[in-house]
Structure 1
Amino acid sequence: MSGSTITPWVVGNWKMNPMQADAQQLIQDFKSLLQAHPIDESSCYIGVAPITLALTTTQTALSSANRMVYTVAQDLSRIAATGAYTGEVSAELLKDSQINFVLIGHSERREIFGESAQVLNEKMKNALNAGLTVIYCVGESLEQRESGQAEQVVLQQICDIATVVDSEQWQNIVIAYEPIWAIGTGKTASPEDAQAMHAQIREGLSQITTYGQSMAILYGGSVKPENAVELAACPDINGALVGGASLNAESFHKIAHAFANTK
């Protein structure tokens, strides 16, 4: 059974970009494109993930768009609530600022910052308990793919969070499959390879939760307008987590349009 009836998500991960003036211009350009070429909310959810400094200003700027565009935090603390934790931003503080979505487990957090399964579980538990919706990222390295471990690695990353997710909380999770070797490299998994992994992820989720067939599974890894339509046509690819292309309003709009009109 495919997830082809699931409303797709297209989320732009701005990472540690751009400068404030450029961010404001990017938002304005994207709002103008949505005005000129509307994308119905029922056909595609859209979100952007700016740096923490820009979460509330981005949210305010997007509030005047002609449709809902969600503001997504790129990360959150492993520590809950408030307290003497210099530099941290907790799930509760995000919720208090009406930031209701957060990325957890991005490969850059795992690879560059050494976030272990234990750390990610703490973040996942805090986010879900605070009422946030989590976009949980999974993916394999090139070495793991070439050694035939890709599916094992990805499914293990999903199993890792199962111990801290209550049965009803699975409906508040979106999965983003991002092969590490395709992030920021210009390389993209073929639609066939991406669909095969997404189908495996959905099968794995279905063995863990009754929500497995209704959960959105996004593809991330050098998504751009040139490959968006092919990716969107795959039955188990329910959207995209977009990196570099989301820093260009026209490219991001084209990707969202592709998913909205293909699904």
Structure 2
Amino acid sequence: MSGSTITPWVVGNWKMNPMQSNAKQLIEEFKQLLQQHPILEGACHIGVAPISVALQNVQQQFLDTNRVIYTVAQDLSRMAGTGAYTGEVSAELLKDSHIEHVLIGHSERREIFGDNVEIVRAKVENALNAGLTIIYCVGESLEQREAGQAEQVVLQQICDITSVVKPEQWHHIVIAYEPIWAIGTGKTASPEDAQAMHAKIREGLCQITAEGEHMAILYGGSVKPENAVELANCPDINGALVGGASLNAESFYKIAQAFANTK
């Protein structure tokens, strides 16, 4: 439904990895691959989401790359601005550090760290008000899928944020669909199942905003080079949020290449 007018995104979520020396090596190897076989910016947006203490180092290391590589924060505070909030990093502080993109709503934040609807909503509002672009994560558990509730759960997670997104702000949001049961398990939704959910998300977005037809919807959940081409061939899958495979330069490059060449 979306057609080929949406430039795909491939974003590596490093989670709580790796050590600094390994991160430096990973970036250098990835840059070398891009140098040898460039992926045009117009063919695929590429980003990496390192741990918070490495954001600016990673950003600096990518400055001499032959194309833009976005540095993405893995999370931000529900508190805005500055203040007495020990351990927190606000949207404004990210923006001040020239970090323009952020993940919000990842299932690990929701399930392990208690990011409920109110917290997620506050984070989205703060990020948009600060001028950040959001990669907003949605997804169902295995129990919810087996109970036939997958579409309902995912669409509700999108509806959860509509009250804090202004009509002109939707183009600052990228959706990432990650079935929880496929994250880090080696299991992947079949391309048919993934496409069906992405099409349903697209349909829901189009009912919410005029931007819905043009918004990128990424797939996440054990994405690897072996399944990237097949996923990239699905019309409503506009990229990937990559976990473990993004910690290997060659694997991450091949996934980006798959989406750049297919879309």
TM-score tier by shorter-chain length is: over 0.9
CA contact (8 A) 2:138 2:175 kept: yes
CA contact (8 A) 1:4 1:236 kept: no
Q: Aligned residue for 1:209?
A: 209
Instruction: Indicate the SS of the match to 1:48.
Output: strand
Instruction: Indicate the SS of the match to 2:212.
Output: coil
Instruction: Indicate the SS of the match to 2:163.
Output: coil
The superposition leaves residues 141-184 of structure 1 with CA deviations (integer Å, 9 ceiling, x where unpaired) of 00000000000000000000000000000000000000000000
Q: Aligned residue for 2:35?
A: 35
Amino acid at match of 1:218: L
Shift of 1:29: 0.5
CA contact (8 A) 1:105 1:137 kept: yes
Q: Is 1:126 equivalent to 2:126 in the alignment? A: yes
Instruction: Indicate the SS of the match to 1:6.
Output: coil
Amino acid at match of 1:150: A
CA distance in 2, matches of 1:125, 1:74: 16
Q: Is 1:142 equivalent to 2:138 in the alignment? A: no
CA distance in 2, matches of 1:137, 1:56: 23
Q: Aligned residue for 1:160?
A: 160
Q: Aligned residue for 2:113?
A: 113
Q: Aligned residue for 2:176?
A: 176
Q: Aligned residue for 1:23?
A: 23
Shift of 1:4: 3.1
Instruction: Indicate the SS of the match to 1:213.
Output: helix
With the length of structure 1 as denominator, give the TM-score of the two structures.
Answer: 0.99
Q: Aligned residue for 2:11?
A: 11
Amino acid at match of 2:163: T
CA distance in 2, matches of 1:214, 1:39: 22
The superposition leaves residues 86-143 of structure 1 with CA deviations (integer Å, 9 ceiling, x where unpaired) of 0000000000000000000000000111110100000000000000000000000000
Q: Aligned residue for 2:73?
A: 73
Instruction: Indicate the SS of the match to 2:83.
Output: coil
CA distance in 2, matches of 1:230, 1:4: 15
CA distance in 2, matches of 1:120, 1:239: 23
CA contact (8 A) 2:2 2:214 kept: no
CA contact (8 A) 1:3 1:237 kept: no
Q: Is 1:48 equivalent to 2:48 in the alignment? A: yes
Shift of 1:3: 4.1
Instruction: Indicate the SS of the match to 2:160.
Output: helix
Q: Aligned residue for 2:243?
A: 243
CA contact (8 A) 1:195 1:235 kept: yes
Q: Aligned residue for 2:96?
A: 96
CA distance in 1, matches of 2:74, 2:2: 28
CA distance in 2, matches of 1:237, 1:29: 27
CA contact (8 A) 1:10 1:240 kept: yes
Superposed structure 1 runs of 4+ greater than 4 Å apart: none
Amino acid at match of 2:174: V
The superposition leaves residues 63-87 of structure 1 with CA deviations (integer Å, 9 ceiling, x where unpaired) of 1111100000000000000011000
CA distance in 2, matches of 1:100, 1:112: 25
Amino acid at match of 1:220: G
Identity of matched residues, %: 79
CA distance in 2, matches of 1:40, 1:100: 20
CA distance in 2, matches of 1:15, 1:4: 30
The superposition leaves residues 184-219 of structure 1 with CA deviations (integer Å, 9 ceiling, x where unpaired) of 000000000000000000000000000000000000
